[in-house]
Amino acid sequence: MAKIYQAMGYKATVRSAIHDKKSRYPSNMIMGSDHYNVEVIMNGRTYYLDATPGCGGVYLSSPKEVLESYIYGGDGWERIQ
């Protein structure tokens, strides 16, 4: 994901999510030491996008809060936040 954003001209960095503020994660998502996100800076704003391979939940957050979150279930992706 980071390479895609970089190719589009954005500053993007892959980062471990274990030490991030919990307010940036969906309330039902468990963060382990193997959880990663991509920090992307677009138009002067910072966003965090889930980048953990094989994870059944994804999110988009700002430095302060979750903006959108989805979980994969038997019927496909469902928005949970």
Summarised one tens digit per residue, pLDDT across range 10-69 is: 999 998 877 777 777 776 666 666 778 899 999 999 999 887 777 777 888 998 888 998
Rounded Cα distance, 27 and 71, in Å: 12
pTM equals 0.79
8, with CB counted inside 10 A (0-12, 13-18, 19+), is: exposed
Is 79 buried (19+), middle (13-18) or exposed (0-12) by CB count in 10 A? exposed
